[in-house]
Amino acid sequence: MTTTDWDAAADSFDDEPDHGLLDPAVRAAWARRMESWLPAARSEVLDLGCGTGSLALLVAGQGHRVTAVDRSPRMAGRARTKLAGTGAEVLVGDAGHPPVGPRRFDVVLARHVVWLLPDPEAALRHWFPLLRPGGRLVLIEGVWGGDGLSAARLTALLAPFTERVHHEPLSGDARLWGRETADERYALVARAEPPHRHTEVVDVHLLLRRGPEVLLARRAGTGYADGLLHAPSGHAEDGEDVREAMIREAAEETGVALRPEELRVALVMQHRGPGGSPRTGWFFEAEYDPERPPRNAEPEKCSEIGWYRLDALPDDMIAYCRAGLEAYRAEERFVLHWHEDGDTVAHTPDGPRRAVPLPPSAVPTGRVHHIELWVPDLAEAEAEWGWLLGELGHVPYQHWAHGRSWRRGDGYVAVVCSPDGSGGTHDRLRPGVNHLAFHAGDRAALDALVARAPGHGWRLLFPDRHPYAGGDGHYAAYLANAAGYEVELVAL
C-alpha cells in the first residue's frame, strides 16, 4: 500500500464517528475500554498506525508514556499537534516494522491496522519481540462491508506466538461507534508469553432454585451479550477453587452469602463461544432461602433479575447457558457446547443444537432402570402423573397406544393401561406396591406442590399429621390420585 493509499484509508476512518473520537460519549466509551485493556500502572505504550493520534491521546491521558508511529507524514504531523504537552513521541515509519530500535514496551497497540498490512504474520512476528515479558499486544480490528480481518483469522495468526488471547466483541456497544453497527468489530488482547500447555478459563454458574424455578439475570452495559438472560456467573481467580469462586460471584451479583455446604455440583460443561477460546464451566445448584432473598447487586452490569420455570425457559438467553439448563433438567452431568464461528451468542429456537452430552461411567448394576404402573384409565393417569412428574423434573419420554412414560436421568416411570389388566383401582394396602417416593426440593417447593396438587387429581393423605405424617423431623407430603396410587414427596 502506498503512502497515498494509506492516507486515504486513514482519512476514511477518521471521518467515521468511531475513529475520530470527537463525540464525548464515544471518547468516554473508548477510555473505559482502554482502562480494562492496559495495565493499571504507568506503562510504555507503542501505538502503531496512530493516524491523527486520537487513541494515543486517550492513552496518554490515563498516565501512560506513548510512542506513536504512522507512515504518513501528514498524519504524524496531526498526531504531533494533538499530543503536544503530553510527553508523547510521534515517529514517521512503517507500522509493520516501526523505527524504535532496541526499545521494549509494555503494550503494543494497533487499531484498524493489521488488515491493511501486506503481510500481517510478518508484522506480528516483529511486534512480539518489542514487548517486555508479560507485555500486551492490543489489536482492534473488524470486518467492514466485506473488507477487514475476522477475529477467527487474527486469532489463528496469533497462535504461533502466544496462547493467551482474550477476545472481546465490540459490535454490540453502540457507544464506541456513535451508532448501531451490524458488522464484526472486536478487540484481541494477547500476552507476550510463548506457547505452552493448553490452559482454559474456568467459569462458575449458579443455579439458584426456588422449587421449579431458577434465577436468571439480564446482562446490560457490559458490551457482550447485553439484553440476554444468563445465570449468575463469573470466573475463578488465581488461587481460588471453583467453590470459592462461586460463593464470591454469588455474593457480588445477587447479594446472597452462600455457605460451602449449600452448593452441589449440577453440571460440568466445556464450552466455546463464536470465535472465542474454550472455557470449562462448573454449574452449581443451591436452594432459595426466603431469609436471604437475592437482589440485583450489580445494576451497572445487570438490568434485572427474575425467576423462570425450568420447564418453560425463555428464548432470549445466552445459548450455552440455555443448553446447560436443559442438560441439567435432563440430569446430564457432563456436556460439550462448541459454537461454530458463524453461530450467534444468543439461543435460537430453530438454530443448530451444539450441546453434546458425554456419558458418565457405566450405570452400576442393580440401579433402578424404570418403574411401570398399570392403570385403569390412561387419559386420567397421563393428566395426573404427567403433571406431578413434570413438576419433579421428569420430561416426556415414550408415547404408545397403551402407555406413556417420563424420564429423568437414566431412569423413567411408565403408566400403562394394558388390555390384559384386571380391576378398576389400585389398592395400596394389599400386597404389592404401596407407594412411590420422590425428592421434592426444599420445604417451600414441597408446600407449593401440595397447594397445586388438588387441581391435578391428587389429594392429601393424613392431613391431620401433615407435613410430619412420616414421623418427627421427616418433612414430607403423602398424596393419592383417583386410581388409588400413593406418592410420597420428601423435602430436603
pLDDT value at 1 more than 50: no
- Predicted pLDDT at 124: 96
Report the alpha-carbon distance of residue 186 to residue 184 in Å, rounded. 7
Q: Are 171 and 141 in contact (CB under 8 A)?
A: no
Report the alpha-carbon distance of residue 175 to residue 170 in Å, rounded. 10
- Predicted pLDDT at 450: 96
| 292 within domain boundaries | yes
Q: How many CA atoms lie within 13 A of 195 on its CB side?
A: 6
- Predicted pLDDT at 17: 42
CA angle 303, 308, 314 (to 5 degrees): 80
223: CATH: 3.90.79.10
| 363 within domain boundaries | no
| 362 within domain boundaries | no
- The answer to whether residues 382 and 430 belong to one domain is yes
Mean of all residue pLDDT scores within the chain? 90
- The answer to whether residues 469 and 384 belong to one domain is yes
- Predicted pLDDT at 441: 82
Give the SS3 label for residue 129.
helix
Residue 23 neighbours by CB under 8 Å, 6+ apart: 17, 178
pLDDT value at 228 more than 80: yes
Domain residue limits at 301: 201-357
Report the alpha-carbon distance of residue 487 to residue 480 in Å, rounded. 6
Residue 333 neighbours by CB under 8 Å, 6+ apart: 267, 268, 360
- The answer to whether residues 347 and 457 belong to one domain is no
- Predicted pLDDT at 8: 46
Residue 398 neighbours by CB under 8 Å, 6+ apart: 404, 405, 412, 414
Across residues 49-59, what is the average pLDDT?
95
- The answer to whether residues 447 and 336 belong to one domain is no
CA angle 168, 200, 259 (to 5 degrees): 100
| 284 within domain boundaries | yes
Higher per-residue pLDDT: 323 or 196 = 323
pLDDT value at 459 more than 70: yes
- The answer to whether residues 185 and 220 belong to one domain is no
10: CATH: 3.40.50.150
Across residues 474-492, what is the average pLDDT?
94
Across residues 153-179, what is the average pLDDT?
91
Higher per-residue pLDDT: 388 or 223 = 388
- The answer to whether residues 296 and 319 belong to one domain is yes
Of all residues in the chain, what percent carry a pLDDT higher than 70?
94
Rounded to 5 degrees, φ, ψ at 150 are -75, 160
Residue 155 neighbours by CB under 8 Å, 6+ apart: 165, 167, 188, 275, 277
- Predicted pLDDT at 363: 60
230 Rama sector, left if φ>0, alpha if ψ -120 to 50, beta otherwise: beta
- The answer to whether residues 338 and 219 belong to one domain is yes
pLDDT value at 490 more than 80: yes
Identify the band that residue 39 occupies on the pLDDT scale cut at 50, 70 and 90: very high
pLDDT value at 10 more than 50: no
pTM over 0.85: no
Q: Which of 198, 191, 283 is nearest to 234 (CA)?
A: 283
Domain total of the chain: 3
pLDDT value at 465 more than 90: yes
pLDDT value at 46 more than 90: yes
Radius of gyration of the chain (CA): 30
- The answer to whether residues 213 and 267 belong to one domain is yes
- The answer to whether residues 327 and 267 belong to one domain is yes
- Predicted pLDDT at 21: 79
- Predicted pLDDT at 393: 80
- Predicted pLDDT at 488: 95
pLDDT value at 327 more than 70: yes
Of all residues in the chain, what percent carry a pLDDT higher than 90?
74
Pairing of strands 476-481, 486-490: antiparallel
- The answer to whether residues 247 and 374 belong to one domain is no
Residue 487 neighbours by CB under 8 Å, 6+ apart: 388, 435, 436, 437, 438, 458, 478, 479, 480, 481
pLDDT value at 155 more than 90: yes
pLDDT value at 16 more than 60: no
Across residues 225-245, what is the average pLDDT?
95
- Predicted pLDDT at 2: 46
Residue 127 neighbours by CB under 8 Å, 6+ apart: 48, 108, 110, 137
Give the SS3 label for residue 131.
strand
- Predicted pLDDT at 11: 44
- The answer to whether residues 351 and 392 belong to one domain is no
| 196 within domain boundaries | no
Cell 500500500 belongs to: 1
Identify the band that residue 3 occupies on the pLDDT scale cut at 50, 70 and 90: very low
- The answer to whether residues 185 and 44 belong to one domain is yes
pLDDT value at 397 more than 60: yes
Q: CB neighbours (10 Å) of residue 377? A: 15
Across residues 290-315, what is the average pLDDT?
95
- Predicted pLDDT at 276: 86
Weakest mean pLDDT among 9-18, 318-327, 452-461: 9-18
Q: Are 190 and 164 in contact (CB under 8 A)?
A: yes
